[in-house]
Structure 1
Amino acid sequence: MTRERTLKLGLKANAAQFTLLVAINALVGGMVGQQQTVLPLLATDVFGLTGYTFIFTYVAAFGITKAIANYFAGTFSDRYGRKPVLLVGWLFAIPVPLMLIWAPDWTWVVAANVLLGINQGLTWSTTVVMKIDLVGPRQRGLAMGLNEAAGYGAVAVTSLLAGYLAGQYGLRPAPFLVGLAYTALALVLSGVFVRETRDHALLDAGRHVARPDGLHDHLHADLTDREIALQTSFKEPALSSASQAGLVNNLNFGLSWGLFPLLFATAGLPVGQIGLLFALYPAVWGVGQLFTGALSDRIGRKNLISVGMATQAAALVVIALGSGFGVWAVGTVILGAGTAMVYPTLLAAIGDVAHPVWRGRAVGVYRVWRDLGYAVGAMLGGIVADAMGLHAAVWAAAAVSAVSAAAVAIRMYETHTPLTVADER
């Protein structure tokens, strides 16, 4: 009864903490943005690397480490609370910019991305879970849209800023000083102002009502960690469909991270234009999520996910066919739009199906699969690019995205009962 009186679910009731967590997630995204434009150019211009597969090792290292960290973020946040996991995640970020500034060889860059993967897995997963805790069931799509818009909007802005700094002052150290500032600010905000949200999840669990169609009756509150992993990965149609779509979505992001700057450089574009092209993708992605997350609360999740994956496939075809700034700009904008349809909607679907008691672990398992896409995309892109060229790697990603869209359309069921106007009042 005390919890009922002191805690409330909903975006309006928790606006201050929710806004703070949105700001912190923007700083999380900025840690990735500081290096996306710069590191591929650092690999070729400073360290003299030529093999695409070898250059992409830093993306693979980041993706694998982040995937593993996601699992522990979910498990530890359910077991020990959300705030301690968030703080530990930011401690791992401290050495990253310094290692990139002082790196004498490429192994330092790979090691820095291992630490960055741990930082991203612990902090981003935790802010996702905390926002779902706060808002309750009615506005999950909107909450995830705001969360992911902040994160990937910051990726775009910081990518553009890093590209500008690199063009004006060189590839090192200027772009990475931004990451030092982000880390210091995030540690202060997380340590002093963030409050624990696990009690909100317990309140949500106490009010949990089974679906009238019985779809989730087998997903009761006392599943083991192994059962949660199996349901989210393979067995439960909506959860496992979300996991595979998330993997392919981040396959595209991982491939773009390592490959797009090199592809754009083949046309002789200056660093500033390359930075602008790379920023367009997460910028449209970030801003678009402000609308698509809330839209999924109104029309449901499944169609947005399947159409979004198909849109990504079409965008990659445009990029593969292109050879100049104008066409590539169109392709990256379409790719961002498709990703915006998918990204917050997948997280909202996980929140729809997972019981509040094991929601953190389900989000963690989903994000394991999703962020393995970074590594798969980097390695697929590197291997195909080495064997057949950069454009062939983009065609391969387009084909995989089309298959993913079809799989969602066939296997996934609708997880959300759309809101009416009366529901939102």
Structure 2
Amino acid sequence: MTSGNTSSTQRPGARPGVTLGLRQNLAQFMLLVAVNALVGGTLGQERTVLPLLADQVFHLDLYTSALTYILAFGLAKAGTNYFAGTLSDRYGRKPVLVTGWFIAIPVPLLLILGPSWGWIVAANVILGISQGLTWSTTVMMKMDLVGPSRRGLAMGLNEAAGYLGVAATALATGYIAANYGLRPGPFLLGAAYIALGLGLSVLSVKETHHHAQLEAANHTVAHPSARADLSNRQVFTLTSFRDKSLSSVSQAGMVNNLNDGLAWGLFPVLFASAGLSIERIGILAAVYPAVWGAGQLVTGALSDRYGRKPLIVGGMLVQAVALGMVALGQDFGIWLAAAVLLGAGTAMVYPTLLAAIGDVAHPAWRARSVGIYRLWRDGGFAVGALIAGILADAYGIPAAVAVVGAVTVLSGILVAVRMRDTDHKPAL
């Protein structure tokens, strides 16, 4: 069993002075929290504005066409997540993080200047690649720093920062769009985030790969699947299919982001069709990730104390209830309550899924397993865009939301039946 206590024990060749633990690495950890808030803000610049841009500027009539940007984003981010884990093991975490920020530089320009919808889709391909590199590495670096004992808390802080960044920016861009137009104002904020994130990552962020090496040196194996010497193919099949816990987490992550893709792409259109103002749409677009982000400050630590499985199952079912309220609702009050509930359910699930991956995966291939989980999870954006678009075109947005809610219930049941609850003080 790996001890929950931090350790300064060095293996041969390890860097002197390297220790594991949140308190021991607090300054660097909090810097990474700030960096991930900027990563989230870079995504948040789109949450309120892009669905309205598709409708009001480019006049895309079919929901499936309007959701192409989420499909492009999801596919690009999902694929990049896989490579982010492999690259960070090979070259280190910091080079991957910095590269992700460099790749994001043209995104605001494409969103501001794009004369056709194809430019917007291209911007989202680039944004997906950037997010796959930057968000994945901030997750890995925090896992590296804290070690095994407070992993849920670390993931809660990481994801809270990211999604509070999404929420604050969605709210800010809604205000900017309402007062100054859909372009260019909202995307100038995104450009500022990219400049600041790149500067901090280059000048202040330190490499953390040696922390993972220290943990691996003191790691004992409880069962054969957790041994250190697994190939990329073995890690992929274990995370995706063979291990009951890892594969349950992967499918739940995909369904969770299917819900998020639906909320991102169709909720603003639904709210606008009901006559809500841009300001109110911005509020609804911000409340969901705000509750999601703030809630993770609590739920990550709760999963350390009470285990991962109860929060995952409960969170998926809460999300399903919220989606039912969106499908049946017809006014701002009901949708506001649904946004709060959807954010709460997602907060229960999101950091807990990442922590569960960290519990089971060996430190030697944990970054690859996280990348594979995030491949499946962010593939949910693409699946959600396709399913939601096709169903909304055929039967309307409320029907699409109801179907996705039913899928979410099934996902929660699958976790309840199949997943072994990982030890909140990881035992591999």
**With structure 2 as the length reference, what TM-score do the two structures score?**
0.96
Candidates 103, 115, 125, aligned match of 2:126: 115
Distance 1:202 1:5 in 2: 12
Distance 1:4 1:111 in 2: 42
Q: Which residue does 2:422 correspond to in 1? A: 415
Q: Which residue does 1:161 correspond to in 2? A: 172
Q: Which residue does 1:181 correspond to in 2? A: 192
Counterpart of 1:133, as a letter, is D
1:334 pairs with 2:355: no
Candidates 147, 152, 162, aligned match of 1:141: 152
CA contact 1:233–1:365 (8 Å) conserved in 2: yes
Distance 2:129 2:146 in 1: 26
| Aligned ranges 1:375-414 → 2 under 5 Å | 375-414=382-421
Instruction: For residue 5 of structure 1, report the CA deviation from its aligned partner.
Output: 4.3
1:194 pairs with 2:201: no
Please identify runs of 4+ aligned residues in structure 1 that moved more than 6 A: none
Candidates 343, 351, 355, aligned match of 2:350: 343
CA contact 1:299–1:418 (8 Å) conserved in 2: no
What secondary structure is seen at the aligned counterpart in 2 of 1:355? coil
Q: Which residue does 2:116 correspond to in 1? A: 105
Candidates 145, 150, 165, aligned match of 2:161: 150
Instruction: For residue 416 of structure 1, report the CA deviation from its aligned partner.
Output: 1.6
Instruction: For residue 4 of structure 1, report the CA deviation from its aligned partner.
Output: 7.0
Aligned-residue CA RMSD (Å):
1.0
Distance 1:218 1:351 in 2: 14
Say which is worse superposed, 201-210 or 382-391, in terms of deviation. 201-210
Q: Which residue does 2:142 correspond to in 1? A: 131
CA contact 2:107–2:123 (8 Å) conserved in 1: yes
Count of residues paired in the alignment: 415
1:300 pairs with 2:300: no
Q: Which residue does 2:5 correspond to in 1? A: none
Instruction: For residue 219 of structure 1, report the CA deviation from its aligned partner.
Output: 2.0
Distance 2:225 2:183 in 1: 54
Counterpart of 1:262, as a letter, is V
Candidates 319, 322, 325, aligned match of 2:326: 319
Counterpart of 1:66, as a letter, is K
Instruction: For residue 418 of structure 1, report the CA deviation from its aligned partner.
Output: 5.1
Tell me the percent identity: 63
Instruction: For residue 209 of structure 1, report the CA deviation from its aligned partner.
Output: 2.5
CA contact 1:96–1:115 (8 Å) conserved in 2: yes
What secondary structure is seen at the aligned counterpart in 1 of 2:266? helix
Q: What are structure 1's unaligned runs of at least 5 residues?
A: 420-425
CA contact 2:148–2:425 (8 Å) conserved in 1: no
Candidates 74, 88, 100, aligned match of 2:99: 88
Counterpart of 1:409, as a letter, is A
Distance 1:339 1:128 in 2: 17
Distance 2:152 2:224 in 1: 23
What secondary structure is seen at the aligned counterpart in 1 of 2:104? coil
Deviation digits for residues 328-349 of structure 1 (CA, Å, limit 9, x no counterpart): 0001100000000000000000
Q: What are structure 2's unaligned runs of at least 5 residues?
A: 1-9
CA contact 1:81–1:196 (8 Å) conserved in 2: yes
Candidates 81, 84, 87, aligned match of 1:73: 84
Q: Which residue does 1:280 correspond to in 2? A: 287
Distance 1:128 1:395 in 2: 32
Candidates 9, 14, 18, aligned match of 2:29: 18
Distance 1:417 1:304 in 2: 12
What secondary structure is seen at the aligned counterpart in 2 of 1:218? helix
Counterpart of 1:324, as a letter, is D
